[in-house]
C-alpha cells in the first residue's frame, strides 16, 4: 500500500485534507481537548461547541478576508440545497427592498451543468420570471466549454432583477470565470456558486450578496455548506451570533 504522502489525490470532492489536520481531528473525535469525551458526544449547544464554531468563523473570516458586512452561515444540505434556498431568500430580499413582485426576474448565466441545474430549480419553483443572461451552449455547438463574451449577455434591468446567479467554476465542464462579472449592475445582488474554487484564489467578497461553498469539495467533510451572505428556506434563521 502506498503511504498518504505518496498518494496524489486530484479528487474534486471530497478533496484531500492535510495530514496534520486529519491527525488532530482523529484525536479530537476520541478525546476532545482532554475532556475525555468525543467531539461527536458533546452537546451542540455547549460552550465548547460554541467556541469551536466561533473559532471556525473567525479563522474563515481571516483566511478569506470576509468583511464585517457579510455573515458566515453553516447549513446542512451541501451545494444542491442552495439551488432552492437562493431563490427563496433572494426573492424575499427583493420584495423587502420594495421590488414589484409582478415584475420580479432572476438572472442566470448558464455556463455548465451546475449552473444549468440551479437554473432548472429556479424555473421549477416558479417565483417570478427566470431570465437566461447567456447560455454558453449557443456559442459552442450545443456544448459547454467556454464563457460567451459579456457584450452578448442580456441582464434584466436593475429594478426588476431579484439577483444575478452564476457558477464561478463549473467543476464538470472545466469552465472558470477569470474575474468578477464586468458588466453587472453593482446595485443588483450577485449570487455565486464557488463550490470548487473558493479557496483557490483571492476573492473580493464585498462584491457578492451570497457566495456558497459545500465544504465537502474544498474545506471540510460531506453534508455542510457555508455561505457568506448579506441578507440572509430563511438564511436569517441560521445566522450565528457574530464571532470575530
Ligand X SMILES: Cc1ncc(COP(=O)(O)O)c(C=O)c1O
Residue ranges that bind ligand X, judged by CB under 6 A:
13, 78-80, 114, 167, 171, 193, 195-196, 214, 216-217
Residue 178 dihedral angles phi and psi, to the nearest 5°: -70, -25
Strands (E), 112-242: 129-135, 161-167, 169-170, 175-176, 190-193, 210-213, 224-229
**What's the residue count for the chain?**
244
- Least separation in angstroms between residue 8's CB and ligand X is 20
**Preceding peptide of 14 cis, ω within 30°:** yes
- Least separation in angstroms between residue 86's CB and ligand X is 11
- Least separation in angstroms between residue 167's CB and ligand X is 5
Q: Are 75 and 227 in contact (CB under 8 A)?
A: yes
Nearer to ligand X by Cβ, of 79 and 189: the residue is 79
How far is 224 from 160, CA to CA, in rounded Å?
A: 32
Kindly state the cell numbers that stand for 187: 446595485
- Least separation in angstroms between residue 130's CB and ligand X is 18
Q: Are 87 and 122 in contact (CB under 8 A)?
A: yes
- Least separation in angstroms between residue 200's CB and ligand X is 13
Residues 6+ apart with CB under 8 A from 84: 121, 125, 233
- Least separation in angstroms between residue 193's CB and ligand X is 5
**Residue 211 CB-half CA count within 13 A:** 24
Nearer to ligand X by Cβ, of 76 and 182: the residue is 76
Q: Which H or E run contains 106? A: strand 105-110
Amino acid at each position: 500500500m502506498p503511504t498518504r504522502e505518496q498518494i496524489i489525490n486530484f479528487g474534486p470532492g471530497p478533496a484531500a485534507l492535510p495530514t496534520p489536520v486529519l491527525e488532530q481531528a482523529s484525536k479530537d473525535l476520541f478525546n476532545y481537548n482532554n475532556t475525555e469525551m468525543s467531539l461527536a458526544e458533546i452537546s451542540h449547544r455547549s460552550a465548547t461547541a460554541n467556541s469551536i464554531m466561533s473559532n471556525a468563523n473567525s479563522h474563515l473570516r481571516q483566511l478569506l478576508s470576509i468583511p464585517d458586512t457579510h455573515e458566515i452561515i453553516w447549513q446542512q444540505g451541501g451545494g444542491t440545497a442552495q439551488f432552492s434556498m437562493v431563490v427563496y431568500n433572494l426573492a424575499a430580499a427583493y420584495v423587502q427592498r420594495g421590488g414589484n413582485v409582478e415584475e420580479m426576474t432572476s438572472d442566470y448565466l448558464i455556463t455548465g451543468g451546475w449552473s444549468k441545474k440551479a437554473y432548472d430549480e429556479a424555473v421549477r419553483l416558479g417565483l417570478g420570471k427566470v431570465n437566461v443572461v447567456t447560455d454558453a451552449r449557443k456559442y459552442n455547438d450545443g456544448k459547454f466549454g467556454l464563457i460567451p463574451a459579456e457584450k452578448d449577455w442580456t441582464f434584466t434591468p436593475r429594478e426588476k432583477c431579484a439577483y444575478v446567479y452564476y457558477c464561478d467554476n463549473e467543476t464538470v465542464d472545466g469552465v472558470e470565470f477569470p474575474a468578477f462579472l464586468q458588466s453587472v449592475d453593482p446595485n443588483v445582488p450577485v449570487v455565486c456558486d464557488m463550490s470548487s474554487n473558493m479557496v483557490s484564489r483571492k476573492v473580493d467578497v464585498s462584491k457578492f450578496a451570497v457566495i456558497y461553498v459545500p465544504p465537502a469539495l474544498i474545506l471540510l467533510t460531506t453534508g455542510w455548506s457555508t455561505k457568506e451572505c448579506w441578507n440572509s428556506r430563511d438564511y436569517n434563521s441560521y445566522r450565528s451570533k457574530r464571532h470575530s
